[in-house]
């Protein structure tokens, strides 16, 4: 009985720590990227699927949180503001890459979307050289030229980690399937 109580208490502490960490990470995201999170175009990415049933919006937020967690865990000194903003905008390509209309793009999506994301982000935000490097190089080694700053290396690693979890189904979105999202998009087009 005592052993069971200890296990329950340990689990409670673990969850408490997890939610505390998530709250802290979310606070930092709001602090450094609040304008991006609240923007109309960034919220449009809730309509696009990244992997599985994970939306691009949710994926970018996860990559930003994961990047902060990596830099903290490994004690890598970096500019947190640029890290967060670059991570939030790293997949700012603003189209559904599974859509048949983007089939041409889809085939080479991995190669071209960092450039498209950078172009879109540059139109709306004044990007620093580090933020540009994060967006442009996050698909390395596909981009051939490696990242030039720590922040870009961290986001590249975080993006790969999050994408892997999403692809193998270990990290799922908010339950909306791609079929449901497609239906919503089609309904919107008809109106």
What is the distance between the alpha carbons of residues 80 and 59, in angstroms, rounded to a whole number?
Answer: 18
Closer Cβ to Fe ion, 19 or 111, answer by number: 111
Q: How far is the CB of 91 from Fe ion (least distance, A)?
A: 4
What is the distance between the alpha carbons of residues 171 and 80, in angstroms, rounded to a whole number?
Answer: 25
Cβ atoms of 63 and 11 within 8 Å: the answer is no
Residues 129-168 vs Fe ion: string with x where CB under 5 A?
A: ------------------------------x---------
Q: How far is the CB of 154 from Fe ion (least distance, A)?
A: 13
Let me know if 160 is exposed, middle or buried by CB neighbors in 10 A (0-12, 13-18, 19+): middle
Q: How far is the CB of 106 from Fe ion (least distance, A)?
A: 13
Q: How far is the CB of 12 from Fe ion (least distance, A)?
A: 33
Spell out a b/e string for 49-81, using b for 16 or more CB atoms within 10 Å of the CB, else e: bbbbbbbbbbbbbbbbbbbbbbbeeeeeebbbb
Residues 59-118 that bind Fe ion (CB under 5 A): 91
Closer Cβ to Fe ion, 133 or 159, answer by number: 159
Contacts to Fe ion by CB under 5 A: 91, 159
């Amino acid at each position: 009985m005592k052993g069971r109580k200890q296990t329950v208490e340990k689990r409670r502490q673990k969850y408490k720590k997890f939610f505390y960490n998530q709250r802290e990470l979310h606070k930092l995201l709001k602090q450094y990227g609040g304008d991006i999170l609240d923007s109309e175009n960034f919220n449009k990415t809730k309509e696009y699927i990244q992997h599985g049933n994970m939306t691009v919006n949710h994926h970018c937020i996860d990559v930003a949180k994961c990047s902060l967690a990596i830099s903290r865990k490994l004690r890598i000194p970096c500019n947190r503001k640029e890290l967060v903003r670059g991570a939030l905008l790293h997949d700012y390509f603003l189209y559904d890459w599974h859509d048949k209309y983007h089939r041409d793009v889809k085939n080479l999506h991995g190669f071209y979307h960092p450039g498209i994301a950078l172009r879109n982000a540059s139109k709306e935000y004044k990007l620093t050289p580090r933020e540009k490097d994060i967006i442009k190089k996050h698909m390395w080694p596909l981009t051939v030229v490696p990242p030039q700053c720590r922040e870009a290396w961290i986001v590249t690693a975080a993006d790969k980690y999050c994408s892997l979890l999403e692809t193998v189904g270990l990290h799922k979105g908010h339950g909306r399937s791609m079929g449901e999202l497609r239906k919503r998009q089609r309904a919107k087009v008809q109106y």
